[in-house]
Structure 1
Amino acid sequence: MNRAIGHGPLQFWLAESQRHDGAVVHRACNVTISASCGYYWLDSSWHLMLEVDTMPALDPSPQRIRLFKSEKLEQLTFISPRTFAVAWAMLLPAIAWAGWGAVDPLAGCARVLVGLAVWTLFEYVMHRYMFHLETDVPILKWFVFLMHGNHHDTPNDPLRSLMPLSASVPIAATVWGIFALLVGRAGTWIFLGFMIGYVIYDVVHYACHHWPMRGKLRSALKRHHMRHHYLDEGGNYSISAIFWDSVFGSKIRSLKR
């Protein structure tokens, strides 16, 4: 169930969703921008307050949280696996074409590997420090929920298990610009490796939530991520390069909640 509440210059949307343990969660989901909602509400001084509501359990079928009042904006938060596959099947070769001739093939391959390595660390840092940012700033709380918090409330929504192009393309363009400033045109090959790493990450993430993932490696990846969702959100931040959690001491080692 979704409903708007509050008044004034800010309007949040309240969404109810059911976690795997049956608990009903109420979260602030939209900023068309106002005042009050389940877990969080803004008081008259614009401080984000904590509030926990008790409600009867919802139907166990997957719930979709509405993030925006505007239907056009809401559609920008979805992406199907087919759209994702078609888009990146065109974008990755386009990036390679843009960098063609900047360096010789061997040097290009080396830069692609550098970009892959950079992605794996970026993936960990992004998930740990941006997607799970703890802040008292209302607009940042909304941003974190928009980017990632809603996924924890409805982790198996098939249209929100991949990053939509409305987010991934602007972020990618920014990263490309940074590599170009640092390395010049040859930075396009580092960027290509970075984006290949991103696509691998998102495919692995989707698979963890929607595919059986049989086999030693695939089951290890799925187990690692499911523990992040259902045991401890404060650990197992890596998705595709899970060794970083061991390096930085964030690997979940106990099965106790």
Structure 2
Amino acid sequence: MAGRRVTAAELRNQCSSGACWLLRGRKVYDVSSFVRLHPGGESLLLARAGTDIQGDLDGPPHRHSDNALRWLEQYYVGELEPEEPEQQNLRERVKQHTSTDSYSSTSGVQFKTFDPAKDLVNWEKPLLWQVGHLRENYDEWVHQPVDRPIRLFHSDFVEWCSKTSWYIVLAVWAPIVAYLTWYCLSELSRGQTRLFATFTTDYSIPVPVFFFFPLFFAGMMVWTLMEYGIHRYIFHMNPPASNYFLITLHFMLHGQHHKAPFDSSRLVFPPVPASFVIVPLYVILQMVLPPVVGLSLFVGGLFGYVVYDMMHYYLHYGSPKKGSYLAWLKSYHVRHHFEHQKTGFGITSTLWDRPFNTLIPEDAITDY
């Protein structure tokens, strides 16, 4: 991969000016744009600015995955020039490697440094219509993440509809959740809602107003199960290599997120496609349950969905306090993206990963 010569003085000056340049052997990387997104926190990278991080990549405490090493190559700047005698302190931090063109992965497999020009797709054109032609190469390609935006469609309007900012989810669905909550509480407070009233009036059961809260919570729990099931069985379906349509569908639904996990415009669901799932659920609940009871379940599920989308965005772009549950959950989700794509399907929690035996094991911890 092309690069330039970097002097030790330039390396020191860049780090002194606030940039985060790192060494891997003599290779120099500018990860300044990634510091805020680093799963282990900003301080871990900033504290290592200007130093050789090969030992940190190999672990302990954390062994970085092959995909994490490929990810690093996107920030390659060039080669560090041989040090002058007076730069002994810097030289002691730099370890020579036997190869400057490729690195051994942690599993012993050799892979070349990142080179967009040699990728399997043309990044200058919409990807949605290209990925189906990758066939047997698709699964490996889509699970090698890159730090770049993705264009799916030729049409600017359709492309615009396929993206959204995180606050749009709140702006659209949060007022609906608030209104439906008020409406359900108001209707239940009248004392006219009864279960089984459709079949018999003698044995129908009144639904008191406080029953809204367990119904709301039950709706949230139903959503978490749906979240797990959709993520595992639809988003992570394994499309046959010979099926162009299913590969294209998989990439549109979720594959593009695994290919570019930090594309901020594709981290939450746009309201229009989300409504294709939300509206049918509303209709079904209204058909099978008393209207206010079904609506109470629905609003709990809708609230769970909003929490899910906000949590998902935060796990990619947030900086939770080290040692907190959110920091652990962020690491858990990053491991799902970078090494354990067949496990770790929970986003807001690991609630359903546990009983369905898809929990990423603690002894398989692998960070960036």
For 1:245 and 1:190, the matched residues in 2 are separated by 23
Aligned to 1:119, which of 204, 223, 236?
A: 223
Total equivalences in the alignment: 221
Within a 5 Å distance, the mapping from 1:185-224 to structure 2 comes to: 185=291, 186-214=293-321, 215-224=323-332
Report 1:30-109 matches (<5 A).
30-31=128-129, 37=130, 40-41=132-133, 49-51=135-137, 62-97=147-182, 99=184, 100-101=186-187, 103=193, 104-109=208-213
For 1:157 and 1:71, locate their aligned partners in 2 and report how far apart those are by CA, in whole Å. Answer: 17
Structure number with bigger Rg: 2
- C-alpha root-mean-square deviation of aligned residues, in Å? 2.6
Aligned to 2:20: none
**Unpaired runs of 5+ in structure 2?**
1-68, 74-113, 139-144, 194-207
**1 or 2 for the larger relative contact order (CA 8 Å, sep ≥6)?**
2
Q: Cα deviations across residues 127-163 of structure 1 (Å, max 9, x unaligned)?
A: 0001001122432221221111100011011111111
Which blocks of at least 5 consecutive residues in structure 1 are unaligned?
Answer: 1-17, 32-36, 42-47, 53-59
Deviations 1:177-236 (A, max 9, x none): 121122131201101110111111111110010011225211121111111011211010
Rounded to whole Å, the distance in 2 between the matches of 1:225 and 1:26 is 26
Distance in structure 2 (CA, Å) of the matches to 1:158 and 1:256: 24
Q: Relative to 1, partners in 2 of residues 1:50 and 1:61: Cα closer, same or farther, differing over 3 Å?
A: closer
What secondary structure sits across from 2:71 in the alignment?
coil
Alignment correspondent of 1:180: 286
Indicate which of 141, 154, 160 corresponds to 2:247: 141
**Which residue does 1:13 correspond to in 2?**
none
Q: Which residue of 2 aligns with 1:154?
A: 260
Q: Which amino acid aligns with 1:30?
A: L
CA–CA separation in structure 2 for the residues paired with 1:62 and 1:227: 16
**Is the contact made by 1:40 and 1:51 (CA closer than 8 Å) also made in structure 2?**
no
Residue 98 of structure 1: CA displacement? 5.3
Question: Normalised by the size of structure 2, how large is the TM-score?
Answer: 0.55
User: Are the aligned partners of 1:30 and 1:68 in contact in 2 as well (CA < 8 Å)?
Assistant: yes
**SS state of the match for residue 265, structure 2?**
coil
* Equivalent-residue separation in structure 2 for 1:123 and 1:19 (angstroms): 29
TM-score between the two structures when normalised by the length of structure 1: 0.77
Q: Which moved more, 1:154-163 or 1:83-92?
A: 83-92
Q: Is the 8 A contact 1:30 1:142 kept in 2?
A: yes
User: Aligned AA for 2:252?
Assistant: L
Instruction: Verify the 8 A CA contact 1:19 1:153 in the aligned structure 2.
Output: no
Aligned partners of 2:259, 2:342: CA distance in 1, in Å?
15
Q: What is the percent sequence identity of the aligned residues?
A: 27
Aligned-partner Cα distance in 2 for 1:183–1:19: 52
Closer/same/farther in 2, CA of residues 150 and 93 from structure 1, 3 Å limit: same
User: SS state of the match for residue 150, structure 2?
Assistant: coil
